[in-house]
Structure 1
Amino acid sequence: MSDPAVTATAAPAARRPVIAIAGLAIETSTFTPTRTLAPAFHPDRGDEVVARYPFLASYADAADFRGALIGHALPGGVVARPAYEELADEIVARLTEIGPVDGLWYDIHGAMVVEGLDDAETDLLGRIRAVVGPDVIVSASMDLHGNVTRELAHQVDLVTCYRMAPHEDALETKERAVRNLVDVLATRPVGRQRPVKAWIPIPVLLPGEQTSTRIEPAASIYAQVPEVEQEDGVLDAAIWVGYAWADQPRDRAVTVVTGWDRDVVAAGAERLARAFWDAREDFAFVAPTGSFDECLAAAVAPGGARPFFVSDSGDNPTAGGSGDMTWGLTQVLAHPAFAAPDGPTLIYASVPGPAAVAEAVAAGVGATVTVTAGAEVDDVHAGPITMTGRVHAVRHGDRDAETEVVLQVGSVFAILTTLRKPYHHEHDFTDLDLAPRDADVVVVKIGYLEPELFDMAADWMLALTPGGVDQDLLRLGHHRIERPVFPYDREFATPPDLSARIVPPSNEPLGAA
């Protein structure tokens, strides 16, 4: 909310400001052995970029949007350096072709890890700044599981992130970043070229499944964000939980508040930082938890609610897991309850196995095949799994999986894919002739249930399984994070400094911390 007490000047009506759009987004686990290559980002270019954001049409009279390159990859392993260089070079080249711009919308996630880089988003923005110049106003939209270093806060002028986990407000957040940018370009206080930015690092590192805004304390903490935003002199307020599964110095919670009134901006950032820090011991998992065996036992218990969902969380591909582990499916197929076809129906999603998929496709629906799948990349906890079953369904053309097959083994319907894929929507199952609402048990490689799954589940548990996105951070082990940090450290020799750091604009030196 801008300060009504400050006189504003409107930009000349004769020319709409030119706003470029660029960014690379991926959530990267450094504990996952896979490597992410350039095609995984499915980049859009030029007019494709503008077309992917329908809300931009609402701002067509206020700005001229020019797409450079946007690439969003499924979370996974570290981005190979040549892949990053290829995409970054293309972004720079396309921005050079676009020519002078007034603003840049930087659409990123904030947890991209590139080989040899600890702060890839800042590196990329630095390359962009070298092309567009220091005077261009940059507005970034991010995931609340991203990371905001002091250096990134320096390079951007406006920055915001999701306020919901699960991220039901993703498009709303992106539009807010654009709206803030358009507003700042159109109307700025006299003598003010850039907003004030207050940045506060919070020494807390927690997985998203312990910080969901569905439950307390995150629900109440995030409810304070729009209250701070409504203060006179504030443009935007945000809290980043940070990304827990990358072993980097930047991994921790952060608050950033931007606006025109330095004192109000600083006070807002401190309010949010203090609320997050004070609640550190109160954060709990979003659902009942247990070992995988305990979750399966609860799922098949007589008289239980159906369908019962189990989150196989350690290999969650939408948090950065390889999605390649067979550990969970191995446990399912070894469970006696599912040995016979007339046992409780269980759907398992999913395990990649290109050769297994090809064999099943060649055999056709209804055929009985013996195939081996999984653990081609991540075999730390279990090796490839061999199954004999009936081909229940085949589907081609998925954006992530490419080809999917369903193999019925006993009463288990195991989804196998050419490439890894997350299963978040009901149609992901019904497209494969599966009825999740009628199943007894649905096991999904996920953390907290995405909205459609949450609505389908009559009951659910979060299985604390091993993998590249293990919920037990201490078991997983970090070596490069800044210490002390909760929960690695529960006793602090001195209270953390939660005072606001006013970060200078990008056209001024950053200086010492």
Structure 2
Amino acid sequence: MRIGIAGIAIESSTFSPHRTGMADFRVTRGADLLARYTWTEDSTLDVEWVPLLHAVSLPGGAVLKDVYDELKAEILDRIGQAGPLDGLLLDIHGAMSVVGMLDAEADLAQAVRAAVGPDVLISASMDLHGNVSYDFVQHLDLVTCYRMAPHEDAWQTKERAARNLVARLHEGGKPHLAWVQVPVLLPGEKTSTRIEPAKSLYGQIEEIEAMEGILDASIWVGYAWADEPRCQAAVVVMGDDAELVQRQATKLANDYWRVRSEFAFVAPTGSLDHCIREGLASDARPFFISDSGDNPTAGGAGDVSWTLRVLRAYKSHTIIYASIVDPESVAIAKGGGEVELMVGGKIDSGPAGPVPLSGTVVKVHEDPVGGTIVVVKSGGLHVIITERRKPYHHVKDFTDLDLDPAHADLTVVKIGYLEPELYNLANGWLLALTPGGVDQDLLRLGHKQIVRPLYPFDPDMATPDLTARLI
């Protein structure tokens, strides 16, 4: 069997002024594309994997239209040159926003379907923070998404999508697919599978998947920081027993709806000032504070200076701030010595403009993701400034810069829920409700194009009909 692999994967905040260009994507083709997936070397699958094009970017603002058009056009062109295909794996995120479009994934899926024809099976692998509209899912034959947030099962999900596709091609026939959207839109920090009710909701999936006549079951939380009609939760169950897949999808959707008011933040929350005071007063170390409103791995610009402006008042304490993107400040500081900078607020200046920072450059480091990185020490405050947007998820991200959260009074990170390494390291953690393109307070962002009524925007809305639709 010949199965193509393609995709454009990014999570995009329409509330961030950042724009995602071609330079933001890591584009792979040929052997480099196949090397992303260990299972392409599994000879027992008896598959010729055909690499088309895959593009993935750190979350950010909406993708420039010409960039999307160029990537899509190359995928379609490579499909045309690939020769006959039996199947296609579509490896995407599901929350890509493109300037001037309201459902970029539906546009991509429709174009891919038109290119491969009606008989080629398409299997999509997605992030659970993706959006699943009818316009999108009608072009697919199989679809699955992560079952964990944080996404510790990302690569297992891609493999499941591939193996489901291979199995279905061997068995023949297309599965029934039952789809339903749930009019709930919540941020990922309120829907972590580490805690209830998401833990139990997602805990049902293995049991459903094990039923005779069921192939796969998925729950999407949706993406809260895009203002598009498709943004809401969704459920898909697929298999050979049409009545069973529809019944189980309907049940999962109603279960989600019933617990909508029980979702809570994965960590104690508060204003930035409150979190700093609590963290400094605590004896727990290491102590982390999430600068959640400008989380670059959720789509934040990464240069909102609101938090840095506040942290300058706490220079008598040892505080690590990770991080803020500002290539202009990096260009000045990489020469070392004493510097006076105006940092941040140059991409997303809404919450606060550039902030003055005087200090000593104590580290210059070259990083494959962040480019040139400098650490500026101002009193006890250590500010990490990056040339390019970079997440701080691993202990090595800090130790590469000669910084150690275990020996700091506070480590403040542009992040939402702590990723596993930092989560396991932390003895104290607070989630600061800071402003930015991925503000946790959805009601103050100003959504205008979401479909209403929608919880929590309309907390008293009537119970919707959540009967799943067979596709």
| 1:334 aligns to 2:318 (yes or no) | no
Q: Distance in 2 between matches of 1:439 and 1:57?
A: 45
Instruction: Kindly state the Cα deviation for residue 444 of structure 1 after the two structures are TM-superposed.
Output: 0.3
Counterpart Cα distance in 2 of 1:232 and 1:464? 45
Greater Cα shift, 282-291 or 428-437: 428-437
Aligned counterpart, 1:246? 226
Percent identity, please.
54
1:40 Cα deviation from its structure 2 partner: 1.1
CA contact (8 A) 1:38 1:86 kept: no
Structure 1 Cα separation of the partners of residues 58 and 157 of structure 2: 19
Indicate which of 289, 297, 320 corresponds to 2:299: 320
Q: Which runs of 5 or more structure 2 residues have no equivalent in the other structure?
A: none
Map 1:323-472 onto structure 2 (within 5 A).
323-335=302-314, 338=315, 343-362=316-335, 364=336, 367-399=337-369, 401-472=370-441
Q: Matched residues in 1 for 2:47 and 2:362: separation?
A: 51
Q: Which runs of 5+ in 1 are unaligned?
A: 1-16, 504-513
Tell me the SS of whatever aligns to 2:138: helix
Name the CA distance, whole Å, in 1 between partners of 2:454 and 2:342.
42
Correspondences of 1:207-356 after superposition (within 5 Å): 207-301=187-281, 303-335=282-314, 338=315, 343-356=316-329
- Partner amino acid for 2:234? V
For these two proteins, the number of residue pairs brought into alignment is 471
**Range that drifts further, 285-294 or 387-396:** 387-396
Does the alignment pair 1:51 with 2:25? no
RMSD of aligned Cα (Å): 1.1
Note the C-alpha offset of 1:114: 0.7
Per-residue deviation, 1:438:
2.0
- Cα 1:235–1:80 shift into 2, 3 Å: same
> In the alignment, what sits opposite 1:172?
156
Hey, what does 1:160 align to over in structure 2?
Answer: 144
Q: Judge which range, 262-271 or 279-288, deviates more.
A: 262-271
Letter in 2 for 1:91: I
Deviations 1:374-410 (A, max 9, x none): 11111111111121111111111422x1111111111
Q: Give the direction of change, closer, same or farther, for the CA distance of 1:123–1:305 in structure 2 (3 Å limit).
A: same
Change (3 A) 1:59 1:438: farther
Letter in 1 for 2:365: R
Tell me by how many angstroms 1:62 deviates. 2.0
Tell me the CA shift for residue 60 of structure 1: 5.6
Change (3 A) 1:47 1:453: same
Alignment of 1:79-158 (within 5 A): 79-158=63-142
Describe the shift of the 1:179–1:205 C-alpha distance in structure 2 as closer, same or farther (beyond 3 A): same
Moved over 3 A (4+): none
In 1, distance between residues paired with 2:241 and 2:357? 64
**What is the CA–CA distance in structure 2 between the aligned matches of 1:177 and 1:127, rounded to whole Å?**
20
CA distance in 1, matches of 2:127, 2:267: 22
Partner of 1:36, secondary structure, is coil
What TM-score do you get using the length of structure 2 for normalisation? 0.98
CA distance in 1 between partners of 2:278 and 2:146 (Å):
33
SS for the counterpart of 2:85 is coil
Distance 2:216 2:180 in 1: 15
- Given that 1:34 and 1:377 are in contact with CA atoms closer than 8 Å, whether structure 2 keeps it comes out as yes
Which structure's CA Rg is the greater one?
Answer: 1
